[in-house]
Amino acid sequence: MENLIIIGAGGFALEVIDLIESINTTEEKYKIIGLLDDYKKDFILEKYNVIGKVADYKKFSQNSFVIAIADPNVRESIYSKLKLNDIKTPNLIHPKTEISKYTTLQADSAIVINYSTQISAEVKIEKAVIIDSKSYIGHETTLKSFVTIYPGVNISGKNLINEKTEIGLGSNIIQGLSIGSNSLIGAGSTVINDIKDNVVAVGTPCKPIKDR
């Protein structure tokens, strides 16, 4: 079994624990050693202990890591430190996810894909992308590094979601658009036009309301 440490001990870490345990029901693959979190001490999530702060990752560098933090900027910062130290970061895919054989995931790069998500053909998924549950990613769409897709999102074909952008709960994006980097699409939005970098955009049709 591969020893695995979870960075983050919040709500998404709870989902990641569930995901890892689901993988293990199919094949005993990962042993969860514990969690690292800067804000929680003497804390137990399900049956797993917080064993240190994020900076303690170096003490555990023989283990593999998953980053269970939805914020793309925090995830990027932690991911680059792990990679500078040559630490293993497996991709974790829930067994109840359907991924086309024509889709490409950047190998061993801390990608997390949660249950009941469907990923169509020729989708490209870069490093440390999170796709939460019940989402659909259409053909030939690219999710650049550190993108976070919250639950219940539908992204149609030939879209480009640029680095560190978050797509809010239950949003829909029609085909062939480009969503800028470091932007946030509000929950329940319908995106029908390109969205630029560094904005918060909301509504139907989705429009920027402020800079980020």
Ligand X SMILES: CC(C)(COP(=O)(O)OP(=O)(O)OC[C@H]1O[C@@H](n2cnc3c(N)ncnc32)[C@H](O)[C@@H]1OP(=O)(O)O)[C@@H](O)C(=O)NCCC(=O)NCCS
Where on the chain is the footprint of ligand X (CB under 6 A)? Answer: 150-151, 168-169, 184, 186-189, 200, 202-203, 209
Residue number of the CB atom closest to ligand X: 186
Which of 54, 22, 59 lies closest to 35, judged by CA? 54
Tell me, what DSSP letter sits at residue 63? S
Hey, what are 60's tokens?
Answer: 């555990």
In a 3-state reduction of DSSP, which class is residue 59?
A: helix
3-state secondary structure 65-117: EEECCCCHHHHHHHHHHHHHCCCECCCEECCCCEECCCCEECCCCCCEECCCC
Closer CB to ligand X, residue 9 or residue 82?
A: 9
Alpha helix stretches (DSSP H) within the chain = 11-26, 72-84
Closer CB to ligand X, residue 157 or residue 186?
A: 186
Minimum Å gap between C-beta 148 and ligand X is 9
Minimum Å gap between C-beta 126 and ligand X is 21
* Cα 7 to Cα 108: distance, rounded to the nearest angstrom: 16
Minimum Å gap between C-beta 80 and ligand X is 24
Minimum Å gap between C-beta 116 and ligand X is 15
Closer CB to ligand X, residue 23 or residue 200?
A: 200
Closer CB to ligand X, residue 79 or residue 150?
A: 150
Closer CB to ligand X, residue 52 or residue 152?
A: 152
The neighbouring-strand residues paired with 49 are: 44
Minimum Å gap between C-beta 187 and ligand X is 4
